[in-house]
Each structure stands twice: as C-alpha cells, then as structure tokens.
Structure 1
C-alpha cells in the first residue's frame, strides 16, 4: 500500500480558487478508479489542529492498495494548479504501523501497532470531535501546538481537515520515533490532553498512523519543509 499527500498553496488572493477546487476535483478523483480512497481537505494556519483556516492552502490525500497502480494526479487537477500558479509539496508515504478508523474503515489496511522501522518518520493523527466536547478540545490545542514546534527532533507539520473545527488532523514529521514519543508521552501538556481524550471521550472516531517517507518533492512558502529543522 502507498499513500500520497499533496499540499498546495495558492498565490496572493487566489484562495477562492482552492475553495472552489474542493468541489470540482471530486469528479476526476472519483473517475481515477485505481485509487481506493481519497480525501480533499483544507489546512489550518499553525501546523496542527487549528480553528483558523488557511484559505490559500489545501490538501489531497490518495491511497492505493497496490503500489504498482500508483499514478499521477488527474490531468485536470494538475492543469488547474498550473493555471493558478500554485506552489506544491508532495509526499509518497508507506504506512508502517497504527490503529483506528477513517469513515469507519481501515483505509491504510490492517497495520501492526509497532514495527522495527527507526528512520525519519511521518505521523498522521486524525479525529472526529464530538459536538458536545468541541469547547473542551479547542481549549487545549494551542499550548500543545506551540510546544510541538520547538520539540527536539521535530521537523515540520501541517494541520489538515475535512470539516472545520470537527474533523481535524495533524500531519507531522520527526527525525525518529523516539523523538516523537518523547514529545507525545513525556511532554506534560500533550500527555494531559491524551489523558483527557480518553477519560472524557472527546472523539467519536480517531486514527493514528506512522509512515516511512518514500519520496519528497516540491516546497511550501518557498522552502522544502523537510529542511526546516536540519
């Protein structure tokens, strides 16, 4: 199985074109039958779960069960990005380990909870937040996002989501699993949020997946995100 995450940034005041693309891209993605799962998503401004959308930045995730069936974005989508002069960052990802569901499905297949991989790693943390717990969740987010950006071993992150405030995800990249675990379990603020999500049942659905980065191409805001924290 292989996944491709593409983050696209529109120039200047062209964010409206990104918003429009979330409707227009559905047909060419639906026609691309070899991709078993895809999502069109918006992005937040602070690199993590975020209440404030970045109207210039948008995301597409696609998954192929057979790596040999992987292909490029549909021509209509590539032409759209080219016409509007978009900046594009694309990652090819191999799912390694994880748990949880997306729309009730194991979209990355049946994964082990642990693997022997020890290199640079990408993490997708996704949740559907219960309406009754929205205020509890958003009160905790900012402090954790600020700590993550300065954590040892952190490289880069982007906040993505299907529905503002409710269906949210963070895609982050770390030098190693050890660095990620040190942040997740030893940093007090993050560990406290994890405890509360379980105790207070914040999520109606959640998923956590770790990936090996197979390819990295392009840039965001004029730089390669993987080189931000060498």
Structure 2
C-alpha cells in the first residue's frame, strides 16, 4: 500500500526590484528540485488574484511551489535545501503550509498527484486546490463566466485566503484557498448560486481538457501572506 503523501505549498513574496530574478528562478531551480529525494510531484507556479484568470490577474511579486512528498523528512529536505534558499535570497515574505489529502478527483498533467484518498472527516481548517487546462477554443466563454464566481468566492463566509495559481499566464490555471472548515467550503461549492451555475455550464459546454479538485487538511503552517498567516486559527 502506497503511504499517504504529504503536500506542501510555498508562497514567496518578492520586492519589485527582484521580479526579474524571480522569473528566472522558475527555470533555474528546476534541476535541483528534480533531484530532491522523496519528491513525487511538483509545480512551480505564478500567482494572481484569480478574479478573471487572464493575464491582468497576474501578481509578479508572488510566486509559488506546490509539491507532493513521500513523508515529512522529504519535505524538511526542501525547506533546508538549495531550492528554498534560492527563493529566500530574493524574497521579503514567505509562507508555507503542510497538508494531507482528504478528497481528490481528476488529473494534473496526466497524473493524480494527491492519490485517491478515502473521504474522511477533518475538524480543522481545510484547503482546496483546483486546477484546469482549458480547451482554448472555448476559453472566451469560460473567462466571461469567471468574474461573478470570483467575486462571490472572495466574500464567502469562512474563507481565510484565496489566490490564483497557474503554470502559465493563459490556459493553465487554478486556485488555492484556505477555509475555516469543510462545512464552509461545502457551503460555497454547493450552496452558492454563482458557483453552482458555473459547475453546470462546465459540464454542458466542456470548457476543460483536464481538471482537478482536491480538499486537504491543514496540518501546520509558518510565515505570512500580506502580513498574516491565513492557516492560523482566527482570533476569538
């Protein structure tokens, strides 16, 4: 039986003067990352506010790495190794979170990076990862449908943080979000009219050539995004 994977997400914020070096890091750290023992899957990511999923969303001052590991020791090796050190040399903010898959369906680059976990209860904060590869001839209809859902997401009860993520400025995009609980995430996914409408249209119009959704338990976090740790328990 394959051991349950550990998932990490790192976000690095860089000052404006370091943006060109950050863009270069997206290529230069790949060989070292590929040599990291215990790494099952990894994607270096650009980020944005996720409001339209077009290039105007892009945030060149924040970059990310999502990775799936054999175990805690392998993830520790990344934190202590050359890849993270390379980003820290240019970053003025860093946040990382460790996660365990609770539910996952779909594929990312032809793979199932989070495995096929048995659905299970989790009483703490949860994260959601969505990722899609668009059918380009249908992209315009997708982009026109995004703004109402994004606006609703950013006001949804129980949302702590949401950021757009993508391997490329167009055609490959997703979101990473942190929620107070699985119940809060479910309420957005199934009870909010804008999201339900887009789910229906997605099935009817075939917007995606590939898609993935995963729900993950938030195990631990450190650092900040815009000065706060979104995975920390809210005050009160």
Task: State whether structure 2 residue 107 is matched by structure 1 residue 101.
Answer: yes
Unaligned ranges ≥5, structure 2: none
8 Å Cα contact 2:8/2:96 also seen in 1 = yes
**Count of residues paired in the alignment:** 229
Aligned residue in 1 for 2:83: 77
Distance 1:11 1:111, change over 3 A: same
Distance 1:75 1:101, change over 3 A: same
Distance 1:115 1:17 in 2: 42
Aligned residue in 2 for 1:148: 153
Distance 1:133 1:177 in 2: 32
Distance 1:63 1:147, change over 3 A: same
Unaligned ranges ≥5, structure 1: none
Task: State whether structure 2 residue 81 is matched by structure 1 residue 92.
Answer: no
TM-score (norm 1): 0.92
8 Å Cα contact 2:50/2:175 also seen in 1 = no
Distance 2:205 2:12 in 1: 35
Task: State whether structure 2 residue 47 is matched by structure 1 residue 43.
Answer: yes
Distance 1:153 1:141 in 2: 20
Aligned residue in 2 for 1:110: 116
Distance 1:144 1:228, change over 3 A: farther
Task: State whether structure 2 residue 169 is matched by structure 1 residue 164.
Answer: yes
